[in-house]
């Protein structure tokens, strides 16, 4: 009986010890004898449940891709809604002159400003990324050529729309001051695309983009009384807006790409965002000062609530306040330190920055609407 019991407890490797997919460890066949158990089998992709493809991304990959897609999708939705519905909302019960094709013009102006801001910010952000210690050599793909072509198309679209509503030929439209400025902007965008493609250095495109900013400042101030002051204020305001918006978008793109790079040091993306935040502090002051003085020069205080321009400006100020709060939240999360009693989310600053981008797109769309609504006079 004893010999039979020993034989039943003996472990035989050739036998299958897995029953129904569950690993059953062997039992020792002698007392006080050390037995080394074999390691359980390592799970493989073949162990996935039925119905899931072997090349399907992991759940974390799906969440990462959804986050990366949600920000641009929300930004585009905000831009389209503001451009197409903004004029009807802000001009209700104002009694001001109806502007034909205001929604299309606002959409074209939004594309124009977005292309300008993203291109300028990409160039500056690319140079800023070089100064980050531990950053990989790989950079996000440059969008300069596509952005310049989009800006040129938006400028030409405005020329076509102007000729259609005014009944003028293209040659006659070019001869007008607004048409000439739009033609200059379209050619400057094409020159920026050519510089990016031919010279392979994005910094060469800054010169034609500076011409776009200056021509837009001249176009926005046709007044006869001290137009040079308004042109200077608008030039500084547009430059600061481009660096803020485009620089933030490029920083987030770099953080997203560096997260999956094995040659990137931990925290390289946060260091890039911190360097951008230091630059954004000066840009914030420039935007606040130039925006305030430009408003005081152009808008009578008693017309703030009764004109489309004043209402649009109030919406822009409200969005700018939200952007300021989000920027402060992102900055505080960047400098928050890990402790035993507080867990720090490494992606917390990027989450606030992504929300800031969506609101900034709304600011860009509202700014484009400001160039379309009737301008009040003193």
Residue 38's pLDDT is what? 55
| Model pLDDT for residues 60-75, shown as the tens digit of each residue | 556 666 666 777 788 8
Residue 82's pLDDT is what? 87
DSSP string, 84-134: HHHHHHHTTTS-PPP-TTHHHHHHHHHHHHHHHHHHHHHHHHHHHHHTSTT
Domain assignment present for 75:
no
Residue 32's pLDDT is what? 53
Domain assignment present for 30:
no
322: its two tokens: 């939200």
Alpha carbon 290 to its chain's center: 23
Residue 120's pLDDT is what? 95
Domain assignment present for 8:
no
Residue 93's pLDDT is what? 78
Beta-carbon contacts of residue 267 (< 8 Å; ≥ 6 apart): 134
86: its two tokens: 């903004």
Residue 244's pLDDT is what? 93
Residue 151's pLDDT is what? 95
Residue 39's pLDDT is what? 55
Residue 346's pLDDT is what? 53
Domain assignment present for 62:
no
Beta-carbon contacts of residue 350 (< 8 Å; ≥ 6 apart): 252, 255, 269, 273, 330
Residue 301's pLDDT is what? 79
Beta-carbon contacts of residue 352 (< 8 Å; ≥ 6 apart): 326, 327, 329, 330, 333
Domain assignment present for 19:
no
Split into its structural domains, the chain has a count of 1
Residue 68's pLDDT is what? 63
pTM above 0.85, yes or no: no
Residue 6's pLDDT is what? 44
Domain assignment present for 114:
yes
Q: Using CA atoms, how far apart are residues 222 and 271, in angstroms rounded to an integer?
A: 43
Domain assignment present for 323:
yes
Instruction: Give the domain range for residue 212.
Output: 101-335+346-370
What are the distances in angstroms from CA 237 to CA 103, 213, 285, 308?
24, 10, 10, 21
Residues of the chain falling short of pLDDT 70: 1-68, 222-224, 262-264, 336-348, 377-378
Q: Using CA atoms, how far apart are residues 191 and 142, in angstroms rounded to an integer?
A: 16
Domain assignment present for 245:
yes
Residue 342's pLDDT is what? 46
| Model pLDDT for residues 352-369, shown as the tens digit of each residue | 888 888 899 999 999 999
Residue 167's pLDDT is what? 83
């Amino acid at each position: 009986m004893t010999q039979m019991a020993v034989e039943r407890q003996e472990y035989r490797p050739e036998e299958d010890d897995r029953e129904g997919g569950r690993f059953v460890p062997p039992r020792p066949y002698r007392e006080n004898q050390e037995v080394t158990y074999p390691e359980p089998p390592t799970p493989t992709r073949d162990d996935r449940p039925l119905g899931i493809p072997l090349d399907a991304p992991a759940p974390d990959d799906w969440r990462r891709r959804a986050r990366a897609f949600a920000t641009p999708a929300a930004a585009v939705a905000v831009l389209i809604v503001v451009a197409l519905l903004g004029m009807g909302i802000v001009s209700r019960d104002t009694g001001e002159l109806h502007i034909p094709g205001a929604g299309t013009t606002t959409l074209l102006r939004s594309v124009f400003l977005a292309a300008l801001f993203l291109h300028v910010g990409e160039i500056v952000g690319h140079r800023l990324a070089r100064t980050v210690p531990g950053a990989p050599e790989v950079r996000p793909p440059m969008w300069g050529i596509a952005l310049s072509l989009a800006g040129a198309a938006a400028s030409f679209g405005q020329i076509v729309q102007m000729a259609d509503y005014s009944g003028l030929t293209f040659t006659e439209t070019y001869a007008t001051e607004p048409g000439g400025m739009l033609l200059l902007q379209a050619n400057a965008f094409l020159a920026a695309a050519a510089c990016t493609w031919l010279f392979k250095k994005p910094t060469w495109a800054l010169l034609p983009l500076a011409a776009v900013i200056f021509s837009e400042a001249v176009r926005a101030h046709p007044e006869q009384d001290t137009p040079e002051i308004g042109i200077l204020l608008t030039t500084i305001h547009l430059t600061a807006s481009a660096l803020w918006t485009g620089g933030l978008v490029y920083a987030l793109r770099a953080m997203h790409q560096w997260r999956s790079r094995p040659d990137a040091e931990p925290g390289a993306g946060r260091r890039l965002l911190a360097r951008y935040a230091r630059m954004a502090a000066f840009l914030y002051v420039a935007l606040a000062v130039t925006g305030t003085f430009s408003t005081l020069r152009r808008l009578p205080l008693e017309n703030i609530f009764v004109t489309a321009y004043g209402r649009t400006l109030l919406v822009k100020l409200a969005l700018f306040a939200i952007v300021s709060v989000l920027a402060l939240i992102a900055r505080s999360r960047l400098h928050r330190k890990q402790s035993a009693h507080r867990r720090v989310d490494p992606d917390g600053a990027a989450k606030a920055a992504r929300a800031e981008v969506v609101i900034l797109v709304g600011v860009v769309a509202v700014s484009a609407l400001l160039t379309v609504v009737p301008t009040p006079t003193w």
